[in-house]
Amino acid sequence: YLRLPVPEVTGLIIDSSVHRHAAIAKHQHPRTRREILDILSDQTDNNYRVYQDFGPNDVIKTIATGIFDCVKRTWSIYADKPNCNEPLVVIPIRTDSH
């Protein structure tokens, strides 16, 4: 939604995205997987968190987080906050040449 020249919907989903991007921008560029997990688990915004599952009144919730590792050729999927949980599943990524 950041670069496409098309009209956007309005409302909570866009507000959430704007707040999450602002929270991510406050972090330094990650250099390790751990730093990526911490960014994807960020809950510092009062209204819309990067990892949104703060309480029962949250209208928008994070249901899964995925990390593509292009070096290891894996896709790790987390069903809970990634910086304090192991992935639910790690899927190998296969290409025609590998």
pLDDT digit string (tens) for 12-56? Answer: 878 888 888 999 999 999 999 999 999 999 999 888 889 988 777
- Report the pLDDT value the prediction gives residue 70, as an integer from 0 to 100: 93
| pLDDT cut 90: percent of the chain above it | 59
- What 3-state DSSP class applies to 82? helix
Q: Are 91 and 74 in contact (CB under 8 A)?
A: yes
Helices and strands of the chain, counted as H and E runs: 2, 3
pTM above 0.85, yes or no: no
